[in-house]
Amino acid sequence: MGSGVTPNAVAAVDEARQWDRLMQMARIGAIPGDGVNRACLTDLDRQARRLLIAWAEGLGLGVSVDALGNLFLRHEGTQPGLAPVLTGSHMDTQPNGGRFDGIWGVIAGLESVQALREAGVATRRPIEVVAWTNEEGGRFAPGCMGSMAYAGFKPADAWDDVADTAGLTFGEELRRHLELEADLPRRGLGVVDGAPPFAYVECHIEQGPRLEAEGLDIGVVTGIQGSRWFTVEINGKSDHAGTTPLRLRKDAVQDMVRAITALNALMHDPEDVLRFTVARIEVSPNSSNSVAERVRFSIDFRHPDAKVLTERGDAIERVVNGALTTCTATVTERFHALPITFDRLVRDAVERAARAQGLGTLRLPSGAFHDAQFMSRICPTGMIFVPSRAGVSHHPSEYTEPDQLAAGARVLAAVLADLANR
């Protein structure tokens, strides 16, 4: 494709329009401190999706939903039968989340497609903007359910029995969600029902400090580190806190402390590359004067080296059981995403587009996981990062400047025009 049209599309990206859409989305589930709490498959999630659909329909994009609730907005190509280029991210947030994680990737996709259409840039391939279901895994663990199912990594019903803290299951909530969106055209599920896309490119905030620290504009993401999630359930016996001698207790909380202490030793890394987090703990009966009979705690373990991820992750169950003194434990793996390296095709297209626009680029891996981790199994995939203020994310103070977000969308517009004309 001649480079003559791409500058028009790049110029057609509208910073104020993109920012206004992001701020409208941020009002759906707004929490104090400029944060957002918008869990997947909730009324807030559906409200945000309806707003996005209204914008897309206003542009003449085709709207459809698949069996996992993944939402697609299609810009038709001059050769509709060709495999499309996909771009997008997720709309669900952490419970104490920010205004940009995920949702910017979806809004940037819409903005870039709108810019291409306004600039009259025809593309051979269709372009589809996608909003993946449940990337965060906050309400229903694990994350990336929509993209994992789309990429054939797990069967569509793999998580039907996963329950949220209210006892509602993912399967029930997904069925209800699809009924409430029954007016939207349905489509098959990714590679389960059809061919893979030609390529996938995802815009996302960096969620780290490097672009800001180095004064650079665009992260050319080289890959994503591996992640493994586990749930550890420890079972003991409830007793009266005032009358039961400690030597007779089966105290699940005390054994949890021993297990986490032993896991900290297993996960010790003087180079501080390894990431080990326990952040969700449920105690039963959760009463200050009854000895705990059961606890459940989460493990989020990450590392860029598959060997470390495998060896230390596989040791978790042995280390937990070795630490217990009076209780028993069950260790269940919930999520297993190996480290991935992005394909050169998309990575180089991102770097070329950013440099052509005079933007400073940095090649870097992602510490956060993304839907792109699973899309990279089925098609050439890459990501575009923009700076995060102080590297903060998964917090209401998450922030990226309007002009930084516009620069990311301009790179995306050029990359989409490039890939969709190959």
Given 92, 101, 206, 293, the residue binding Mn ion (CB under 5 A) = 101
Long-range contacts of 310-316 (CB under 8 A, 24+ apart): 312/266, 312/267, 312/274, 313/228, 313/230, 315/266, 316/230, 316/232, 316/263, 316/266
Closer CB to ligand HGY, 383 or 419, in the complex: 383
Residue whose C-beta lies closest to ligand HGY? 368
- Look at residues 56, 181, 194, 77 and name the one whose alpha carbon lies nearest to residue 130: 56
CB of 419 to ligand HGY, least distance (A): 25
Going from the C-alpha of 386 to that of each of 33, 264, 292, the distances in angstroms are 22, 33, 45
Closer CB to ligand HGY, 287 or 397, in the complex: 397
* Cβ proximity of 51 and 45 under 8 Å: no
CB of 140 to ligand HGY, least distance (A): 13
CB of 30 to ligand HGY, least distance (A): 20
Going from the C-alpha of 214 to that of each of 217, 363, 402, the distances in angstroms are 9, 12, 19
Closer CB to Mn ion, 89 or 235, in the complex: 89
173 near Mn ion, rule: CB under 5 A:
no
Spell out the residues 6+ positions from residue 107 whose beta carbon is closer than 8 angstroms to its own: 18, 21, 22, 25
Please give the Cα distance from 386 to 407 (Å, whole number).
8
Residue whose C-beta lies closest to Mn ion? 102
102 near Mn ion, rule: CB under 5 A:
yes
Please give the Cα distance from 21 to 193 (Å, whole number).
33
List of residues contacting ligand HGY (CB under 6 A)? 135-136, 143, 368-369
Q: Which does 226 bind (CB under 5 to 8 A by kind): ligand HGY, Mn ion, none?
A: none
CB of 343 to ligand HGY, least distance (A): 21
Q: Which does 255 bind (CB under 5 to 8 A by kind): ligand HGY, Mn ion, none?
A: none
Please give the Cα distance from 204 to 386 (Å, whole number).
7
Q: Which does 143 bind (CB under 5 to 8 A by kind): ligand HGY, Mn ion, none?
A: ligand HGY
Closer CB to Mn ion, 101 or 173, in the complex: 101
Closer CB to ligand HGY, 102 or 190, in the complex: 102
